[in-house]
Structure 1
Amino acid sequence: MQRDDARNGAGARERVMSCAVREFMDKGFNGASLRTIAAAAEVTTGAIYGYFPSKEALFDAIVAPAGDELLARYIASQERFYALPFEDQTFEGMQDFERGLVHEMLDFVYDHRGEFLLIFAKSAGTSWETYMERFVDVEEESTHRYTREMRERGVELAAMSPATARILSSMFFRGYFEPLLAGMPRGEAHGFIADYERFFHAGYVALMEPQQSEDSKDAQ
């Protein structure tokens, strides 16, 4: 108890979180021990519960600020795109918008590298293990929204099935975060993301552009 009295104070919570980052990074959420964290932070396990009601609450406190901010930025970006003038919402306009967005998001991820490594590689056993699905939900809905709004404006687009839209969205985000998980340097990751965005954009365009029937082709 004397040890806690000496070490407690404004910095105790920060010490616990710092030591928890190392423990979670080393062992993952399920394998992490609050006793080990407490010993490293020079507090009792009970003291940790004074700051965080559970081990998952401690994990949340570490990753939520960055994780929630990235998702909020992505959701806001969708609304910014649909607020653009109609002529800027063409496939070409969409790609121009995406080029900036994917790099802005990547910089944010690399600015908070530790938090996102915890989310994507060490969060099994927490609600964060389905974090990527939140992005997939947003992207899937945006795909259907784009088709719907373009059709309402008289632009003919091919329908993409819900299953196709979801699987492709999932594939995109799994690949998008792969450079971080692979330990790729930031500059190299930006090069990969530039190519990756072009690859996926071309695929979406190919699927969404109306396909001519064989009869129409023969008539030409």
Structure 2
Amino acid sequence: MNNADTSTREKILEVATKEFMQNGFADASMRKIAGKVGITATALYRHYKDKEAIFDAVVNPAVQAWENLCRAEEVRQTGTARESGLDAMWGDNDQARRIVELIYKDFDAHKLLFCKSEGTKYEDYLHEVVTKVQTATLKFMKEIEDKGILVNHVDEKEMHLILSAQYTAMLEMVNHDFSYEEALHYCGTVNTFFKEGWRKFLGF
């Protein structure tokens, strides 16, 4: 890809981000994107095969960040619990801060991913994130139960329900366009609330 193509693609993604933010994926217009970039619709399709391919490219940094976070979650849970105990693992304020920092590093991509993706393969992405965290958490819970550590048993549906509530609450910062400082404050509030809930629910 030559420099001109690279520059055009960057401009397409910049313009498309604004179009998706304003109209959501479903109502975004490829013709408007092409016009604002200064190319024809035909030329736009030479760069991206369809509207969803553009959306994919725009939200990819956010998707990759969450994939990395989910892969690290199992390691985080195990390491924190072994070093500091279960209570510290469930009330890890640093984890809440990491999520805020992850989101605000590329806020627009996260806004599109979680709030403007209806009609794309990402419209249930929060559910996918929760399912991955749930899988890691249930695996770890089984490990500690097998070691004889007394905690209340939690089935998959219960775990999914509570994790969904927790992550949905945290992502309200995106839905309501909180400032970074507001997000840090309220994410801490959510974390404190759920820490007490997890402690009571799991019995530790």
Do both proteins adopt the same fold according to a TM-score greater than 0.5, normalized to the shorter chain? Answer: yes
Where 1:79 maps in the other structure, the secondary structure is helix
Where 1:158 maps in the other structure, the secondary structure is coil
Q: Which residue of 2 aligns with 1:115?
A: 109
Question: What are the superposed Cα offsets for residues 136-177 of structure 1, whole Å, 9 maximum, x if unpaired?
Answer: 112222332232111121111111122111111111111111
Q: Identity over aligned residues, as a percent? A: 24
Task: Please say if 1:75 is aligned against 2:71.
Answer: yes
Q: Which residue of 2 aligns with 1:54?
A: 50
Question: What are the superposed Cα offsets for residues 18-66 of structure 1, whole Å, 9 maximum, x if unpaired?
Answer: 1111111111111011111101101111111111111101000010122
Q: What is the aligned-residue RMSD (CA, Å)?
A: 1.8
Question: What are the superposed Cα offsets for residues 86-133 of structure 1, whole Å, 9 maximum, x if unpaired?
Answer: 343x2233145x211110121120121111111111110001111111
For CA contacts below 8 A with separation 6 or more, give which structure has more relative contact order. 2
Aligned pair count reads 201
Unaligned runs of 5+ in 2: none
Following superposition of structure 1 onto structure 2, how do residues 155-170 of structure 1 map, counting pairs within 5 Å?
Answer: 155-170=149-164
Quickly say closer, same or farther: Cα 1:28–1:180, change in 2 above 3 A. Answer: same
- Which has the greater radius of gyration? 1
Q: State the one-letter code of the partner of 2:154.
A: M
Q: State the one-letter code of the partner of 1:10.
A: T
TM-score normalised to the size of structure 2?
0.91
Within the candidate set 145, 151, 156, 2:139 is matched to 145
Following superposition of structure 1 onto structure 2, how do residues 172-191 of structure 1 map, counting pairs within 5 Å?
Answer: 172-191=166-185
Quickly say closer, same or farther: Cα 1:142–1:204, change in 2 above 3 A. Answer: farther
Quickly say closer, same or farther: Cα 1:92–1:37, change in 2 above 3 A. Answer: same
Q: Which residue of 1 aligns with 2:35?
A: 39
Within the candidate set 7, 12, 16, 2:12 is matched to 16
